[in-house]
Every structure is written in structure tokens, then in C-alpha cells.
Amino acid sequence: MDTHQWLEDVEGDDALAWVTQRNAVAEATLFVDPQFEPIRASTLDVLEADDRIAYPSRHGDLVHNFWTDAEHRRGLLRRTTWADYVGGEPQWETILDLDALCATEDESWVFRGSSTLRPGRRRALIELSPGGSDASVTREFDLVEKRFIPESAGGFVRPLAKGSLTWIDADTVYVTSDFGPGSLTRSGYPRTVRRWTRGTPIVDAEIVFEGDEADVAVGVGVSSMDGFRHHVIERAPDFFTTQTSILRDGEFVSVDVPDDAEVSFHERWIFITPRANFEHRGQSFPTGSLLVSELDGFLAGTSELTALFTPTETASLGGFCCTRSHVVLNVLDDVRNALSVATPPGSPSGRWSIAALSGAPDAWTLSASAVDGAERDDIWLVGTDFVTPESLFVMSLDRDEAPQLLSQAPARFDASDLAIEQHFVASADGTRIPYFVVGSNDALAATDGSRPTLLSGYGGFEIARTAAYSAVIGRSWLSSESGVGGVYVLANIRGGGEYGPAWHRAGLREKRPRVYEDFEAVARAIVARGVTSPGRLGISGGSNGGLLVGNMYVRTPELFGAVVCQVPLLDMKRYHLLLAGASWMAEYGDPDEPSDWAYLQGYSPYHLVDPDVDYPPMLLTTSTRDDRVHPGHARKMAALLEAADKDVTYWENIEGGHGGAADAGQQATMQALIFTFLRTRLT
């Protein structure tokens, strides 16, 4: 019997009283620690610095940017001209002040994005979330008059729910949302796509597609390229399968590809990434390939597929983006990015050409995105690594010019003595596992196990962890001025996407213990090298990463000196009954199936706590407003550990959603809490 199940009542009086008491204990210890306020102030200084990169979104001759700072914690949606932006002297005009809106409406709005209506770009659909939750509202906004258009004046307004609005034309949108009983999936997401005409009630919107209640969700998208406006509906039976339909002659027709393939459309092309080996018209393609075909011919069953990328033992497709007439391929080779450009043939009998992207910055981590894929052949490039701040470039694929550096974030900590090393270790079954080690030259050369070390990982949902600059880790942990001079380690374990779909499948469902073996192998490797020792080795992870470190806590407590577990999954018996949990059964399994529970109980930390075992100190954090991973996971684990008299610290932010914090002030408090905890336990 689960004696702590009452803590799943998210906003119940008893549960919130329990949260208030635990928060008070955490704040009475860590918040008053002499290290806490300097870390919080330093972090806030970074998050609200005026010299951060203002990341752009091009809208014709204008550039939009969403910006937060000390005076605008919830942020400003603002704009400047393209010429001023690329010239380095943008004169920003405020479009929408979120802090003022919060004050006027007495709501804690968090900006979730906007989409403008082409070609005029006068109207936008703006999505707002209360407190950072996944549930949101969408409102139509006039970008000229800079005001929301109320429903009473014919504006599109979607009430609070998980869902979206998508432009079709000036007077029509697709809507996915909660329309009452039967309109949501078991996972709590929309299962219908409806066509909504301006001036009519949203409840009268016509259903154009309907999924099943057992699905994860349905979604819809509309491309905006003149002459190639594709209306696409995606039905997701589970987290890793999608059935795609495209509008043809007034009807949505199914695209004949395996359900586990990812499909996208651009101009006259269809792009397919199979998650398993794929046979098509006598052709064979391995999992993780990027395939392309002429769309109309593919739908008619007459066109062949061309492989733009084929994976190797070390290289996987990190992603791709389409400009007006090119495709930029981003390949991850042993967790380092490399970019190339594919150009379609100029005639029906021609071939695609592929060449390395000339002049790409030299960086461990590179990303590329289209400036405006419907109209231009320009791309944004961002380069970074653990010790190098992000740099933003723009370049044209049609001109023989080097990328233009638009902005470079300043260094936030002294990295002059810091180095990055990449190592590989054999996991329990012999699989080669890469990991990064970052620290001072002295720390990396240490053999006495004295260095405080923070090890992180994720290992799920085919998400790759790459080298990324973190001013918070640099200031609070790595640099000599932090007072710690610690080491940071990132483990690229199975279950993630570092080596494509096969790397992910190697950690799915009953194979998930391989993920934990990989993480343990990295931990043992850095201890064996003498960089650190178990008493000085801390681990951190959030969401699925919280499940990872929760399992480390119960599997090998002797390996670690402290555990930071954020917005975690921990109760694998009930996870599918809590909020969006049912959507992850393709990743973990169905606890109601005896055969699945037989292995799930082997990595359900909540069920594996042994009162007689000596566990390391644990910090558990979550958010009341997290409507993705239920806060009951963290609450119940803390209560269980308290009852067993273990060293556990619990803190729950009232806002924040799955990110744990709704603004820079809350983020700074959370980071100060984490690093104060790690310092007090490991240094």
C-alpha cells in the first residue's frame, strides 16, 4: 500500500501544508548558508546581463526578439529593423510588455511563443502559460496597433488548455484544445484537429481529424511557402510513432511510411527519417538515414528515395533545416557537430549534391537554422562548448562569403586554465560510452581523488547531450574564483540520441538498466583515474534525468557523495496515471501489464528504497505548476526517505512548470539552492 499517495493531490490543503513545511526547513538551512546569496546574486547577474545575445526571428524587413532583464522579469516581445540588427545597433521597439500584462490581468504569464500571419505579418497568435505550465492560452494580437484583439471583436482566443492555434488564412485557423469530455487523449493532450472560422464560437469549430483516446496526441502544421503550402496532420499513437496525413484536393490523405519514421515537407520534397531499417521499392536504408523524394511522385508511388545521409558507427543525424532551396545537414560524429549543405537537382534526371559548409565556425557544438526557409537561403549559426560562450553568425548559402559574426556573448567566468577532454569507457556489456570532463589542468591531472566533481546525464527519449556553455556551472563550480575549482563531467549514455535511433533503442523499456550501467561506468572511470572519489562525487539530473539519478541513489549509493534530483519520475508503478505520464509508456512500459511491471519495478526508485542502506544526501526539487511530470513523484520520495530517517532536503517552487522556474529570479534561487547543497556536501 502506498501510504504517501495523498501527496499526489497537487493543490490539496494537506499536501500544500506538507510542502510549506519542507520548504521552510530547506530555506532555514540552505538559504541562510553564507554561500547561498553570493551564488544567487552571481547567477541572477548572468541571467539578466544586458550584453546577452538577443536571439532573432526574422519577419520580412523586421527582426523580433523576446527579451528579459532585471526590469522585465517576464519579458518584452520587441522588434527592430533587419538593417539595424545585422549592423549591430538595433533600436528596439516594444511590441508587448509581459510584466505589464501580468500586473493588469493579475496573472503570472510566461511567454510561450508567437506565430505571424503571412504575407502581411500584421497579425500574430501569441501563446501564454500561467506560471510556466504546459497548459496555455492563445490570443490573436495586432502587431501594428500592439494590442490583443478580444473575442468580442472577432479575435481568435483559445481558452486555457494544452493545445494550439495554427494560421490557415486571415480568417481561419486550426485549433487543438480541450473541448470537454472525449476530446483529450489518456495522456491529457488534444485528440482532435478542428477548423475554426473567425466570428464563430470555438465550440462550433469543425472537426477535420480525430485520433483515438489511447493516442498520445494529434497535431497540425501549415507551411507558408508560396506555391507549396502544405497542411499536415500528425497523429501520435505513442511517443515514438507518428501517422502523417497531408491535405490533397480538400482531403487529408495518409503518407505511406512506417509509423516509426519521422516525416517533414518542404517545397516539392518529402523528407523521411526511419527509426528502423526501411525498405522502399526494392531499396534498403538503415535506421537513422535522411531520405528525400519528390512529394507528388512519392504519394503516387512512382518516385525513388535518395539518401542525403547514412549513419556510420560513430556518426548520426543531429538534425537538418531547409532554406528556400537548400538543406543543411547537421551530423553528430562522436558527439561533435559537422555541417554540410545538400542542393536539389536542377532537372528531373539530376542528382542531389552535398558539400561541407564552407567557413563553419570551429566549435564542439554547432547548430544551424533557417533565417526564413519560405523565402531565403540564409541561415543562422550558433557555436559553443563548455568553456566558449555562444557566438551567433548569419550567412547566405547562395553567396561565396564567410559567415558574418553578429554577436558573441562575453565570457562569464575565467576559463583560461580550463580544458575539455573527451574519454570513452566500456560499459558492463562492453559498449563504448563517451563522456566529457571539464576542469582546470591541475584538476584533470589529479590522481589523489580530491577534486569535487559534478556528473550529469540524461539517457532517454533520443535526446543528445552536447558540449554547452553554462555560466552558472562555470561561476559556481568550475572556475578558480568560484572557490571550488571543481570538475564537471557529462556522460553520453544510451537511451539518448548521441548515436541515433539505435543508441536510443538500446535503453528502451526492459533495456533501461543498460542506461544505468553506462552512467555507473563513467562514475567508476573518473574515480579510477583519481580525478575524484565517491565522497566528493555529486550527480544531478532532471525529469528523465531525475529517474536516472534516482536509480543511481538506490543502485550504487556507495559511489556518490550527493544527489540532486529535479522534477523527477520516481514512482514507476503509477507514473502512467499522473498527468502526461501515459504518453511515455513507449519509453518505459505499461505498469498495468504484469510482464512490463516485472522489469519496471527493477528501476522504480520509489519502490527500491531500503531503510537499512546508508544513502548519500539527496536534494529533491519540483514545481507545483509542473503539469507534465507530476510533483507527487518528488513529494512521495521525500516523505518516504524522511520516514526512513535519511538525509533528504526537499524544495518545491510554486511556479515554474516542468522547467522548475518561471523567471530569472526563480532560476537564480533554484541554482543557488543546488550549488549550495553540492558545496556543503562535497567540499
Confirm if 280 and 298 have CB atoms less than 8 A apart: no
Average pLDDT of span 262-281? 95
Q: What is the pTM of this model?
A: 0.94
Secondary structure (DSSP) of 618-680: EEEEEETT-SSS-THHHHHHHHHHHHTT--EEEEEESS-GGGT-SSHHHHHHHHHHHHHHHHH
Bridge partner list, 255: none
pLDDT above 90 coverage of the chain, percent: 94
Secondary structure (DSSP) of 527-583: HHTTS--GGGEEEEEETHHHHHHHHHHHH-GGG-SEEEEES----TTTGGGSGGGGG
Nearest Cα residue to 465 out of 407, 522, 393, 536: 522
- Give CA–CA dist 324/225, Å, rounded: 8
Average pLDDT of span 193-197? 98
- Give CA–CA dist 338/364, Å, rounded: 9
pLDDT of residue 659: 77
Nearest Cα residue to 642 out of 620, 673, 671, 622: 620
In the chain, what are the domain boundaries? 322-332+346-411, 412-682
pLDDT above 70 coverage of the chain, percent: 99
Average pLDDT of span 629-652? 97
Judging by DSSP bridges, how do beta strands 418-426 and 453-456 pair with one another? unpaired
The CATH superfamily label for domain 412-682 reads Alpha/Beta hydrolase fold, catalytic domain (3.40.50.1820)
- Give CA–CA dist 157/152, Å, rounded: 10
pLDDT of residue 660: 66
Average pLDDT of span 41-56? 95
Per-residue pLDDT at 464 exceeds 80: yes
What DSSP character marks residue 464? Answer: P
Average pLDDT of span 167-184? 97
SS3 state at 451: coil
| CA 637 centroid distance within chain | 25
What DSSP character marks residue 477? Answer: I
SS3 state at 303: coil
- Give CA–CA dist 302/314, Å, rounded: 34
Per-residue pLDDT at 612 exceeds 90: yes
Angle between helices 632-643 and 13-29 (to 10 degrees): 70
- Give CA–CA dist 667/47, Å, rounded: 8
Q: Which three cell numbers stand for residue 22?
A: 519542507
| pLDDT tens digits, 333-388 | 999 999 999 999 988 778 999 999 988 888 999 999 999 999 999 999 999 999 99
Q: Which three cell numbers stand for residue 134?
A: 504546459
Per-residue pLDDT at 194 exceeds 80: yes
- Give CA–CA dist 652/661, Å, rounded: 10
| pLDDT tens digits, 525-545 | 999 999 999 999 999 999 999
Mean pLDDT of the chain: 96
| pLDDT tens digits, 137-161 | 999 999 999 999 999 999 999 999 9
Tell me which residues are annotated as active site: 543, 658
Q: Which residue has the cell 469543425?
A: 206
Per-residue pLDDT at 41 exceeds 70: yes
Average pLDDT of span 249-258? 95
Per-residue pLDDT at 224 exceeds 90: no
Instruction: Return left, alpha or beta for 60; rule: phi > 0 is left, psi -120 to 50 is alpha, else beta.
Output: left
Per-residue pLDDT at 285 exceeds 80: yes
How many degrees, rounded to 5, is the angle at CA 622 between CA 617 and CA 627? Answer: 150
Average pLDDT of span 401-412? 95
Average pLDDT of span 451-469? 97
The C-alpha torsion from 588 through 592 and 596 to 598, rounded to 10°, is: 120
Per-residue pLDDT at 492 exceeds 70: yes
User: What CA–CA distances, in Å, run from 52 to 55, 391, 412, 416, 548?
Assistant: 9, 10, 10, 21, 32
Per-residue pLDDT at 622 exceeds 70: yes
Residue 468, amino acid: A
Residue 388, amino acid: T
